[in-house]
Structure 1
């Protein structure tokens, strides 16, 4: 009788709706468990680095890699800092100017190729992108000869030039993709107001380019800081960056002192880690800002 009094067209909720919250909770739990597993796997090397850096010379061995230090000591950190501090300073002298210069040049290139079109712009853009796909090893000898012919001193000056040049393709790509999303009406309004190319770039596009600059600065800083191939070819242990000094620290007389090597590796990674902590939350948003054209 009650079924006859039910409104016509009313459907009984499916039986599976009663279990859908439980299924959703189970799926969410499985996803979190998988993420936790991935985090643990990623952090295992960090754990070994950290605990080994506080072990004494006799306590740091492959057999006790997972064990906590018998006696916690800061001697390894002191030795690593004394050895690497000059090289860290040289790395900062190299990375900061090369990152800023390549980001600025890439921004200019991206603006011209995206919004100030000229005949053959697509061909020029394609040729610039070729630089991203040329292996460093294939051009190392010609680069070395070019640096010698230009009279650029070996060490930090030559490394700055190389990182600027090799950073231009990727920075140009990122900025060009971002500037293509800027409304054309904004550029036309600047032209109507009498602004030329440089004034339009400086007063209109540069202030709204912060997301792309964040991406480029993180990318270039990390690549230049972690570079080892250029550093080996164009510098030495006396005038090279921290990667060369860290390699010498691991392969020198302190080879059996794993604690010093681990402390040095952590010290060398702190600047890039600090950059990601400060700017990391803007990285994904800035990277995606030029991926969808509005």
Structure 2
């Protein structure tokens, strides 16, 4: 595995025009992406009376967290006024197994395609790559028919199965490229010592796979958590995740649009993937540089 290279030599004492241009560009880019987040946060902290004045970018004069409490426990989503907490629970029920299964299966597939070459392995890998470029909308109608005929339409196992099937090619590609950078001698030595398929995978490759496992977990978890199309079609009303419920928080029970509640609910839904990124960002960058772009 390649290690990060520490820059050598003295730091530049003068700031060149190109460096200033880079800083300006980065600052403008960061402001462009952070401005909507700022608007969402300050709007969620304002009462509706202040929001009606139209000062979109003004800091709250009266700071309140009532919108956050209402978004969590009593906001109306359709005819049900239980907040977004049921949707958050459903999102965890979908995202956790919808992450574990593709990552585990992708690691096994990538390992097999890297070291246990079988007849037609290149064809299988090519088909996996091609499948990643097919628009998912093409599969919706056939999937509806298949899921209905098998009794999985509108069920939790059904939506988890769909997430697993559609992201398995990506996780396989990630692990295959990562394992392709592992020296062949390590695998050969394990075979000479009597290691089999599963023992080599468990005791030789998995211990060095932490970076790419974290990359795959982050990509898969955020993809499952943020999914809207598949959840809207296949999850069913009892299993609707947070992404679907957010579109239902449009008015209060009195018919008033509560923008602060909408913004608070959106921020609560976004906090989970953000925490995942912040907690494992260093490993994510390392895993990308070590394996995801190689092979």
Does the pair score TM above 0.5? yes
Aligned-pair CA distance for 1:292: 4.0
**Relative to 1, partners in 2 of residues 1:153 and 1:139: Cα closer, same or farther, differing over 3 Å?**
closer
Which secondary structure does the structure 2 equivalent of 1:232 belong to?
helix
Query: Which deviates further from its counterpart, 206-215 or 230-239?
Result: 230-239
Q: Aligned pairs, how many?
A: 273
After TM superposition, the score normalised by the length of structure 1 is 0.87
**Does the CA contact (< 8 Å) of 1:156 and 1:241 recur in 2?**
no
Say whether 1:35 aligns with 2:26. yes
- Structure possessing the higher radius of gyration over alpha carbons: 1
1:103-143 CA-to-partner distances (Å, cap 9, x unmatched) read: 01000000111111111111011112232112121111111
* Corresponding residue of 1:7: none
**Does the CA contact (< 8 Å) of 1:110 and 1:172 recur in 2?**
yes
* Corresponding residue of 1:12: none
Which secondary structure does the structure 1 equivalent of 2:238 belong to?
coil
Q: Which has the higher helix share?
A: 1
1:238-283 CA-to-partner distances (Å, cap 9, x unmatched) read: 3211111111113776662110100011000000000000011111
1:30-54 CA-to-partner distances (Å, cap 9, x unmatched) read: 3223212221121100110000001
- C-alpha distance in 2, partners of 1:231/1:247? 12
**Does the CA contact (< 8 Å) of 2:252 and 2:258 recur in 1?**
no
1:174-225 CA-to-partner distances (Å, cap 9, x unmatched) read: 0000011000001101110111111111111111111110110000011100
**Does the CA contact (< 8 Å) of 1:175 and 1:212 recur in 2?**
yes
* Corresponding residue of 1:168: 168
The unaligned stretches of length 5 or more in structure 2 are 1-11, 74-82
**Does the CA contact (< 8 Å) of 1:236 and 1:244 recur in 2?**
no
**Does the CA contact (< 8 Å) of 2:158 and 2:234 recur in 1?**
yes
Which secondary structure does the structure 1 equivalent of 2:51 belong to?
coil
Say whether 1:280 aligns with 2:271. no
RMSD (CA atoms): 1.9
After TM superposition, the score normalised by the length of structure 2 is 0.87
